[in-house]
Amino acid sequence: MPSVRSAAFGWGLSGGAARPRMARPNWLRIRGPLPLGTRRMLGLCSFLLPLLVWAIVSYVPFIWHPNMLVTNPGDVDYFQVGMSVDRATFASEVTSALQAKQAPPQGVPANPLYLPSPGAVASAFIAAFTSSAGNAEGGWMLASLWKSIQVIFWGFLISSLIGVPLGILAGANTAVSHLVEPIVEFFRYLPAPAFGALAVAVLGIYDGPKIAIIVIGTLFQQILIVANTTRKVEFGLVEAALTLGCRNGRLLSKVIVPAILPDLYRDQRVLLGWAWTYLIVAELVGATSGISLFITQQARHQHFAAVFAGIAVIGIVGLGTDLLLGRLGRRLFPWDRSAAL
Amino acid sequence: MTDQETASALDPPPDVVARLERMKARDVILRVEGLDKQFTGRGRGVKALDGIRFQTHRREFLCIVGPSGCGKSTLIRILAGLEAASGGVALLDGVPITGPGRERGMVFQGYTLFPWLTVKRNVMFGLEMTGTGRSEAARQAGEWLDLIGLSAFAEAYPHQLSGGMKQRVAIARALINQPRILLMDEPFAALDAQTRARMQAYLLDIWKKIDVTVIFITHDLDEAIYLADRILVLSPHPGRVQEMIEVPLARPRSPAQVQSAAFRATKARLESLIHAPTSSAAEEEPYPAMPLMANVLDTVE
């Protein structure tokens, strides 16, 4: 019999009825849909799984714990209560003490100082918000955070006031695009912190240079991203407006700007995240302030739980703002069907 | 059908002759004289239009047909002012067309409704752009929405409408500016057959009730015959006027006329023009013979 393979190309997937019904969603499908409950559950796991790993490493004594925390120094003269020594040293001290018929030191397995447990971070987090202990300038997390938010706000506002109009013009007009974009492309490769010393020389040591660093870090990306978004406006809309008697300035304000608004809003959300990533570097310029001061001070005193709490606060504020803006966006642009998240 | 029968079917009956005479007695609204379009790019130019010459009368319904590559879209875009001609001139009421203007409305194949505006605000757009007050524009838009039967959707956004509804809004949006001519670039090509038939009847209904000249591009010969007073046939590479045909069908048009001898004769005539042996053989690329990959005994034909 000639071997004729009727389904050689997989065109005729014979027996469609025999295929199992797609009762449960296939998680491996490309862009396969998932029910809302599953999506929420996955979103929660995205936070809980790393937290679980962290908790296991912290609380299960035999997982890692390379050090011993001394609870009783015994007769070892250089040991102190609360001292963290590595296991090998501790073990050798125990054996030498036993051989010399002296009291051996006692201790419990511990992780290095720089990996505090989730519980320690949580209590440091609460303490940082509730107590005004520490010095008045930096110890108090809420004041530090407020300071940082102000720097971000002004930096992002100034950047947007320049970057958004310039980006729209560059995206809408070829002449502006060719005049502006080459120099912007050059500047966007320069790391913002490189301007730190210059910014301090020009703007002093307080908020000025910090805001400037955020502006420098955000603005050039912003111009290019907004210009690109503007270029993606369906040209048919512009042509339709032209045939309806719409001209120059109004073409920009009545067609191009409204057409890009949802995408512009999304760009701004991404760029705001970008601005946050420049925050620490910016705050270290001149007189250290804000959340950076909190973090660096706590690190200097080896309060790593508080350092972790400070870092977490930045993430929480950033993510929270973004979720809020995302929700607001869906209300602001009811016609936008590509709304993600 | 013999040649003689065809010829007789193509002769318009007296009432059609009278109507066409009335049409030609009206003023010439659009005169296109020797229009050329040369696209230059990557070293060598491509000639899209070559000496296009025709004229339309006020309240005429003119369809433009032709095979792909005949430049019919380029032609209508030049008439809309969205592209500049390389040579020749198009005169609207004796005034050369130099750019887009509200006296020439346009309906595109892709609906091009403004997605951020409600249906009503879309219709109002043209009036607001040309200085009409918001309340007056809203009143007129309301009337147009009544006319196109979409009052219930006044506050809906375009993405909530079906294709046919969108195109009705696009037509209202163009007509609210009271243009002298309405340019339509394959406006119903993306619609399904039933919606398209309804939209055609609907367009004829609007056209006969308002003082507007329609220039309608299509590649669907049935659509052209059903809608038009006259049909301009273009030939490709470069686009040239091949012939101007008068449609020998009485108005009002009805779907039943598709079966008539005059309709079939007109279609045969158009087909012979468009698929004439003059069309270059290079356009129709040969494709290789497909080997049999199924069971030889399992035949489907």
**H runs (alpha helix) in A60-195:** 87-99, 118-130, 141-172, 174-187
What would the pLDDT profile of B147-203 be if each residue is shown by its tens digit?
888 888 988 899 888 888 999 999 999 999 889 999 999 999 888 888 888 899 889
pLDDT at A157: 96
User: Is B296 part of a structural domain of the chain?
Assistant: no
Q: How many angstroms separate the CA atoms of B111 and B188, rounded?
A: 10
Residues in B touching A252 (Cβ below 8 Å): none
Angle in degrees, 0-180, between the axes of helices A304-332 and A141-172, rounded to the nearest 10: 40
pLDDT at B1: 46
Beta-carbon separation of A242 and B159 below 8 A: no
| One domain for residues B70 and B186 | yes
Beta-carbon separation of B174 and A243 below 8 A: yes
Beta-carbon separation of A250 and B129 below 8 A: yes
Q: How many angstroms separate the CA atoms of A59 and A115, rounded?
A: 11
Q: How far is A320 from chain B (nearest CA, A)?
A: 28
CATH no., domain A122-332: 1.10.3720.10
B102 in reach of chain A (CB within 8 A): yes
Assess contact for A233 and B115: CB atoms under 8 A: no
| One domain for residues B98 and B185 | yes
Residues in A touching B174 (Cβ below 8 Å): 243-244
Beta-carbon separation of A258 and B298 below 8 A: no
All structural domains of chain A with their residue ranges: 67-112, 122-332
| One domain for residues B173 and B120 | yes
| One domain for residues B84 and B204 | yes
Among chain B residues, CA nearest to A259: B116
**H runs (alpha helix) in A30-140:** 36-59, 87-99, 118-130
Assess contact for A335 and B157: CB atoms under 8 A: yes
What would the pLDDT profile of B118-158 be if each residue is shown by its tens digit?
999 999 998 888 888 888 889 889 989 988 888 889 888 99
Q: How many angstroms separate the CA atoms of B63 and B61, rounded?
A: 7
| One domain for residues B121 and B264 | no
Beta-carbon separation of B116 and A258 below 8 A: yes
Sheet with A106-110, strands from edge to edge, namely A84-86, A67-72, A106-110
Residues in A touching B114 (Cβ below 8 Å): 237, 240-241, 255, 258-259
**Which residue among A8, A239, A259 sits closest to B116, beta carbon to beta carbon?**
A259
User: Is B7 part of a structural domain of the chain?
Assistant: yes
B110 in reach of chain A (CB within 8 A): yes
Q: List the domain range (segments joined by +) for residue B49.
A: 3-103+179-283
Residue type, B130: T
User: Is B291 part of a structural domain of the chain?
Assistant: no
Beta-carbon separation of B298 and A6 below 8 A: yes
pLDDT at A4: 43
| One domain for residues B234 and B174 | no
The number of distinct structural domains making up chain B is: 2
Q: How many angstroms separate the CA atoms of A183 and B294, rounded?
A: 61
Beta-carbon separation of B125 and A241 below 8 A: yes
pLDDT at B25: 81
| One domain for residues B83 and B121 | no
> How does pLDDT run along chain B (301 residues), one tens digit per residue?
445 555 566 777 888 888 888 888 888 889 988 888 888 877 677 888 888 889 899 899 999 998 887 888 889 999 999 998 888 888 888 888 888 888 899 999 888 999 999 999 999 998 888 888 888 889 889 989 988 888 889 888 998 888 889 999 999 999 998 899 999 999 998 888 888 888 998 899 889 888 899 999 998 888 998 898 899 998 888 888 888 888 888 888 888 888 888 888 888 888 888 876 554 555 566 778 888 888 888 888 8
**Which residue among A6, A234, A244 sits closest to B125, beta carbon to beta carbon?**
A244
Please, which residues 215-234 of chain A have a Cβ atom closer than 8 Å to chain B?
234
Q: What Rg value do the Cα atoms of chain B yield, rounded?
A: 21
Residues in chain A predicted with pLDDT less than 70, given as ranges, are 1-25, 132-139, 338-341
Residues in A touching B159 (Cβ below 8 Å): 335, 337
B116 in reach of chain A (CB within 8 A): yes
> Taking CA B117 as the corner, what is the angle to CA B113 and CA B120, rounded to the nearest 5 degrees?
85
Beta-carbon separation of A242 and B81 below 8 A: yes
A258 in reach of chain B (CB within 8 A): yes
Angle in degrees, 0-180, between the axes of helices A141-172 and A174-187, rounded to the nearest 10: 140
Among chain B residues, CA nearest to A257: B116
Other C-beta atoms lying within 10 Å of the C-beta of residue B280: 9
**Which residue among B106, B114, B295 sits closest to A243, beta carbon to beta carbon?**
B106
Please, which residues 306-335 of chain A have a Cβ atom closer than 8 Å to chain B?
333-335
Question: What DSSP designation does A72 have?
Answer: E
| One domain for residues B185 and B95 | yes
Those residues whose C-beta lies under 8 Å from the C-beta of residue A62, and which sit 6 or more positions away, are A109
| One domain for residues B188 and B273 | yes
| One domain for residues B12 and B91 | yes
Among chain B residues, CA nearest to A9: B293
| One domain for residues B204 and B66 | yes
| One domain for residues B26 and B70 | yes
Residues in A touching B293 (Cβ below 8 Å): 8-9
User: Is B295 part of a structural domain of the chain?
Assistant: no
CA distances B38 to A258, B200, B280, B283, B300, Å, are 35, 33, 20, 20, 48
User: Is B299 part of a structural domain of the chain?
Assistant: no
Q: Any bridge partners for residue B96, and if so which?
A: B91
Please, which residues 168-207 of chain B have a Cβ atom closer than 8 Å to chain A?
170, 173-174, 177, 183
Q: How many angstroms separate the CA atoms of B247 and B243, rounded?
A: 12
> Taking CA A213 as the corner, what is the angle to CA A208 and CA A214, rounded to the nearest 5 degrees?
100
Beta-carbon separation of A334 and B157 below 8 A: yes
For B58-96, where are the E strands, in sequence order?
61-65, 87-92, 95-96
Among chain A residues, CA nearest to B294: A6
The CATH number for B231's domain is 3.40.50.300
**Which residue among A254, A261, A335 sits closest to B157, beta carbon to beta carbon?**
A335
B287 in reach of chain A (CB within 8 A): no
A243 in reach of chain B (CB within 8 A): yes
**The residue to which tokens 């250089």 are assigned:** A78
